[in-house]
Amino acid sequence: MKPYAPRRALALLAILVAPFLAHAQSAKKSGEHSDLKIEYVPESRKPRSFGPQTVTIRFSGVDPGGIIEGRLRLNYKDAGKDLLTYETPELAITSGATSYRFLIPSTMSGSFRPSTKVYCSFITEKRVIDLGALDTPLANKQGRTFVIAASVPEFAEYGNLQEVINVLRIERFDPNLSKRDQDSRAESVAARIKTDEFGTNPLTYCEYDITLLAGVGFTSLGEKQLDALAKWVKAGGACMIVASGTIDPSQLLFLNELSDHAFTQTAEGALRTKKSAPPATHHRFNPGLGRLVVAIEPSRERIVKKDPEWTRSAAFLYGFRSNQLKHLQNNPHWNEALEYGSGSKKREDLGAISMMQEWSKRTTGKLHIQPIPGDAAGKIGLSLIPRDTKLLPGYIIFIILLCFVLAIGPLDYMLLGKIRKRKYTWILFPLTSIFFTLIMVKLAEKYMGTNDHRNSIRIVDVSPSGEVLRQNRLSLIFAGQHRTITEAGKNALICKVTEEGLNDFGGSHMVYEDNISTSTTKGPSNYRGRLPGNYEMIHDVRQWTPVMIREMQLGPTEESLPSLFPINEYPDINTLLDTFQEFVTDSTSTVHLIRPGPGADLSWGEMDDLDKNVLVLLKDRIRLGFFSVISRVSPHGGATFEDLNIIDTTSSGQTMIAVVTHTNEETIIYRCLIKE
């Protein structure tokens, strides 16, 4: 062998081995062979009913010096049934412990005894890593879960925080708590959240019913957090502040924005009211659509003993009706005798008499906690379906069916018998079936159409000063073909209103009118991205099956309001009423005044069918079940419309003004709640 042969052999070996060594090094760097593990930590023991939930995801098991890049996929199932799939943006998992926080879209279990799991997987460029299935609690539709979010700083905690949480629990007001099943009651769940984890986007607060800021839990919040919290409160949220010690100017500015400048500071920087009130007095405010309670230096003894002031403040934060608040002045529990409310016999305008009778039989002497069907969504959905959409008339179906029977029966027998070729029946029969099927398909396409239609109603809630507080868009998609649709979410909460969600407005029991069904498609939605800032919702729609999508935004927007706004510039109500008549004369809009008392509602302008159905959204909800106790809930943006209610018709001091305007793209409802 020549002397240089060994060198040539070694060089050839190096060339062959180099790719494997490079791949091994790359695999080490990429963490491809790491034993990736996941820890799933929800922010609260159970999520809020119909609300989103923040979870903390902790990764571990990546090799030292390694990194894994990819997306985390969470698939939620209840007894094997898909509920929701959420896929995160691109993540980089390094060695040690890596944590991320994600806002998970609203999802609920329909089971009476939910057995929910989240199936986790990590998707890299080359493979899918199965991370196993984890038990996860979800709110169920048999009861209601309220979440109280308490701000907890790293360095200290308000000494009486647990006592305040106990006072704020909804269970304390239920006279039948001991008689209810564990899953069929209203319960409050506390979520202790680090102060630096409080959101800077108002939509992140939609996972809570009440935010509790006590002591340093309030004074530790930054300006961006307070700004987001203020927008959420004015959009309908509820906030409890227990003030102690000194506060910063930004915190004083926050309080005065929500209280109409009711507070000031002492020379030492402590909070006090401008009016001469005892320091421990609770101060309750209604900023925008929300509720704010401020307690200054309360004593622990009064908290533990559930002082009447604390009882009233807790009920106020939950949105108890005015007549229930009066009842609680001398009683510890809500009054179930007020279940149907005053004027309940005048409910024909809501078309819910039969529904009320059906559900009253099922209450079995106890207030029904879970959402109760009405019948507005069916009517609104029908109003949004394209006017030129019709089902195939029955007489045409009958004629085609008759012709088909004649063709495969007598005609087939006589025609093939005459030419003595009856053996060809097995060829003629399928050809005849295909021919009549094509006829039916073409006729259905002619009547129902093959184009996609999307019509929507947008509800814009405005303060008397003309500030836009929140917007909700209800869009009905009527697809001409089966397809997958992507909804883009940017600083908004988007969800598909499922059949179960339509229970709130009666969609699940299949409302039929003009031969159009308002039932929605089944099947989970898929979310990709980071909520609520920038993400996509992907869902399937079936041909000619209406699907309703809800989109909610909070905070001011550049909205061109009708000339009637701002409302607070009018000197008195009579001047305002005169303006309504002038406004509808010069436009195609209608104006509605909703007030307490039978026959007190007034309308201006000519209303079509859509206007009449929209009126159902404007009125107070049916006072049956839990909404006989409360009149509103904090905004959640979920698949029920309960959080759209803003007026309490048991309160003589509330009036709602609504302006309904039609454009080529959508119908817009401008609502304004006036409180005396």
Condensed to tens digits (0 to 9), the pLDDT of residues 204-222 reads 999 999 999 998 899 899 9
Q: Quote the pLDDT of residue 349.
A: 40
- Name the residue with higher pLDDT: 633 or 116: 633
> Exposed, middle or buried by CB within 10 Å (0-12, 13-18, 19+), for 71?
middle
Q: Quote the pLDDT of residue 251.
A: 93
Q: In whole angstroms, how far apart are CA 562 and each of 466, 494, 607, 620, 675?
A: 10, 26, 18, 23, 21
pLDDT band at residue 55 under the 50/70/90 scheme: very high
Q: What mean pLDDT comes out for the span 107-133?
A: 84
Q: For residue range 605-656, what is the model confidence (pLDDT) as tens digits?
A: 888 777 777 776 677 765 667 888 999 999 999 888 889 889 998 888 899 9
Q: What mean pLDDT comes out for the span 361-381?
A: 60
Assess whether pLDDT exceeds 60 at residue 105: yes
Assess whether pLDDT exceeds 50 at residue 361: no
Question: Which of 488, 505, 500, 523 lies closest to 381 in space, CA to CA?
Answer: 505
Radius of gyration, alpha carbons of the chain: 30
Q: Quote the pLDDT of residue 204.
A: 96
% of the chain at pLDDT higher than 90: 34
Q: Quote the pLDDT of residue 69.
A: 92
% of the chain at pLDDT higher than 70: 79
Assess whether pLDDT exceeds 70 at residue 333: yes
Assess whether pLDDT exceeds 60 at residue 589: yes
Assess whether pLDDT exceeds 90 at residue 538: yes
Q: Quote the pLDDT of residue 417.
A: 75
pLDDT band at residue 357 under the 50/70/90 scheme: very low
Which amino acid type is present at position 313? S
One-character DSSP codes across 460-514: EEE-TTS-EEEEEEEEEEE-SS-EEEEEEEESSEEEEE-TTGGGGTT-TT--EET
Both structure tokens of 111: 């089971």
Does the domain at residues 144-318 carry the CATH identifier 1.10.3470? no
Q: Quote the pLDDT of residue 63.
A: 84
Distance in angstroms (rounded) separating the CA atoms of residues 618 and 592? 9
Assess whether pLDDT exceeds 70 at residue 2: no
- 37-135 and 144-318 have identical folds: no
Q: Quote the pLDDT of residue 584.
A: 85
pLDDT band at residue 16 under the 50/70/90 scheme: low
One-character DSSP codes across 150-188: EEE-SS---TTHHHHHHHH-GGGG-TTGGGS-TTSSEEE
In sign, the C-alpha dihedral spanning 123, 127, 131, 137 is positive
Helices (H), 590-651: 609-618
- Name the residue with higher pLDDT: 26 or 485: 485
Q: Quote the pLDDT of residue 519.
A: 39
Query: Which superfamily is assigned to 37-135 in CATH?
Result: Immunoglobulins (2.60.40.10)
Beta pairing partners, 189? 147
Q: Where are the domains of the chain?
A: 1-27, 37-135, 144-318, 359-385+453-675, 394-448
pLDDT band at residue 42 under the 50/70/90 scheme: very high
Mean pLDDT across the chain, nearest whole number?
80
Q: For residue range 460-498, what is the model confidence (pLDDT) as tens digits?
A: 999 999 999 999 999 888 877 788 889 999 999 999 886
Q: Quote the pLDDT of residue 451.
A: 66
Q: For residue range 372-414, what is the model confidence (pLDDT) as tens digits?
A: 654 455 666 667 776 656 666 777 888 888 888 888 878 777 7
Q: Quote the pLDDT of residue 236.
A: 96
Q: What mean pLDDT comes out for the span 344-359?
A: 42
Q: Which residues touch 482 (CB under 8 Å, ≥6 apart)?
A: 540, 541, 542, 543
Q: In whole angstroms, how far apart are CA 168 and each of 143, 178, 304, 306?
A: 18, 18, 11, 10
Q: Quote the pLDDT of residue 492.
A: 95
Q: Quote the pLDDT of residue 348.
A: 39
Q: Quote the pLDDT of residue 564.
A: 86
Q: Quote the pLDDT of residue 365.
A: 52
Q: Quote the pLDDT of residue 343.
A: 40
Assess whether pLDDT exceeds 50 at residue 554: yes
Q: What mean pLDDT comes out for the span 112-122?
A: 82
Both structure tokens of 85: 């799939």
pLDDT band at residue 552 under the 50/70/90 scheme: very high
Assess whether pLDDT exceeds 80 at residue 190: yes
Contacts 24+ apart (CB under 8 A), 563-568: 564/591, 564/657, 564/659, 565/462, 565/466, 565/670, 565/672, 566/463, 566/464, 566/465, 566/466, 567/464, 567/466, 567/657, 567/672, 567/674, 568/464, 568/465
Distance in angstroms (rounded) separating the CA atoms of residues 359 and 382? 24
pLDDT band at residue 32 under the 50/70/90 scheme: low
Distance in angstroms (rounded) separating the CA atoms of residues 223 and 507? 43
Identify whether the C-beta of residue 82 lies closer than 8 Å to the C-beta of residue 91: no
Q: Quote the pLDDT of residue 390.
A: 64
Q: For residue range 220-278, what is the model confidence (pLDDT) as tens digits?
A: 999 999 999 999 999 999 999 998 888 888 999 999 999 988 898 888 888 888 875 55
Element (H, E) at 271: strand 271-273
- Reported pTM: 0.84
Q: Quote the pLDDT of residue 503.
A: 40
Q: Quote the pLDDT of residue 280.
A: 52
Assess whether pLDDT exceeds 50 at residue 350: no
- Name the residue with higher pLDDT: 578 or 333: 333
pLDDT band at residue 33 under the 50/70/90 scheme: very low
Q: Quote the pLDDT of residue 327.
A: 92
Q: Quote the pLDDT of residue 388.
A: 58
Both structure tokens of 10: 């070694």
Q: Quote the pLDDT of residue 405.
A: 85
